[in-house]
Chain A
């Protein structure tokens, strides 16, 4: 399955662009020449199935990427979204030569976990880099019990993660809908900083930060 999700410029080299998403069933970053479309290099992640968000700072070498890994997907192109599919949120930092500085998986236990029935399900939908503070805002659409309240069941909440640019976790908060049993879906690439504030978007029925 293919998902050409983003075409973004290289902030340091006018002649190059990146195409980012999913190719050959794996999260992929393809660096190509503007002039003729020829490919300089193609990096694919063995443990990212699709890249759903990218962030870069002006004048910087690095790409910050996030998405999800579906470990049991195998060779199929299944896009099933039910509770039987295991998803893990993944964040990574990549240089403009394709080298990956770090890659981090974030997942936790499904509240009703039962193998092949209720699998762990966490996806990263947004990542945004604040260069001046060397901080990352990450939005995960997840079900992990380690972060969510004890009364949360088989529906997605929004998990906002603050990370340092080196990959260390700084803070994390679960954003739920109070007592409503209703999925919150994050928007692809749906987070950014404006000054010290973080804005994010998605599809929901309301939200609040109290667990």
Chain B
């Protein structure tokens, strides 16, 4: 029965459940859960359990046109309850640009929302999502201030993000993120307590010199 289902569904993304006894058969008939398109071009890059809503949140990127609206890269997210029931699922757009990938996630510091790192319009995104329904609380696109038609930065997002909703010193909310830009690693903090988000500090990591290496 399960083998037949595998062949018929031809889906690519799985979320599995095992007991600690690693039984030969899954105990709950809802599991495993498959989601994706016929191409099978879905990757999971965000997988987290929210104990407050008791939902499992799954996110990543897809190029299946029968899972996302088109065959170009789209970020996706969906939520399941612990029995495997589908609760919500979304694709995200930033005006005319798709959120091309969801690359990582982590519950916010108070555990009430989900911070999500991704890419949109080839730029890093810092997002905060309501896990109850997948709606946005925050959407921040990091635009390179010196970008021109000749100077286009190339970003790679690996998913590092943390949203501290109440800093221990000034009680303000801050996003922390990191990504690679033009082969250099950057780490930054975005102050989110004012009228608009502001980069609070930003560091580029460079390799140690030979002398520093010896030390």
Contacts and interface: CB of A to CB of B under 8 A. Distances in A.
Physical interaction between A and B: yes
Interface of A: 2-9, 14-15, 17, 19, 21, 23-24, 32, 34-37, 135, 137, 158, 160, 162, 171-173, 175, 177-178, 180, 185, 187-192, 194, 196-210
A63 to B, nearest CB: 14
A6 B104 contact: yes
A155 to B, nearest CB: 14
Contact of A5 (B47, B49, B159, B183): B159
Closest 7 CB pairs of A and B: A206-B6, A4-B178, A187-B44, A14-B168, A173-B22, A2-B185, A7-B162
Given A35-B169, A190-B44, A197-B18, A205 B179 contact: no
B164 A9 contact: yes
Contacts of B44: 187, 190, 201-203
Interface stretch (B65-73, B89-97, B127-135, B201-209): B201-209
Given A4-B185, A34-B189, A187-B47, 5 more contacts: A178-B6, A187-B60, A188-B159, A199-B15, A200-B18
B7 to A, nearest CB: 8
Contacts of B40: 203, 205
A17 B15 contact: no
Interface in B1-52: 2-3, 5-7, 9-25, 32, 34, 40, 42-45, 47-49
A192 B48 contact: yes
A59 B16 CA distance: 29
A200 B189 contact: no
B177 interface: yes
B123 interface: no
B104 to A, nearest CB: 7
Given A202-B14, A205-B6, A192 B22 contact: no
A192 B176 contact: no
B14 A204 contact: yes
A142 B174 CA distance: 38
A55 B15 CA distance: 19
Contact of B49 (A135, A199, A204): A199
Nearest to B43: A203
B177 A34 contact: no
B205 A204 contact: no
B201 A36 contact: yes
Interface size class of B (residues with CB under 8 A): 35 or more
Given A34-B167, A196-B19, A17 B208 contact: no
Interface in B79-132: 82, 104, 106, 109
B160 interface: yes
Contacts of A185: 43
Most buried by B among A3, A201, A210: A201
Contacts of B180: 2-4
A189 B207 contact: no
Given A23-B185, A37-B187, A205-B10, A190 B19 contact: no
A132 to B, nearest CB: 12
Contact of A207 (B32, B43, B48, B60): B32
A21 B169 CA distance: 27
B109 A24 contact: no
Interface string B50-69: 00000010101000000000
Interface in B147-206: 158-162, 164, 167-169, 174, 176-180, 183-185, 187-189, 201-203, 205
Contacts of A205: 6, 10-12, 40
A192 to B, nearest CB: 5
A4 B58 CA distance: 20
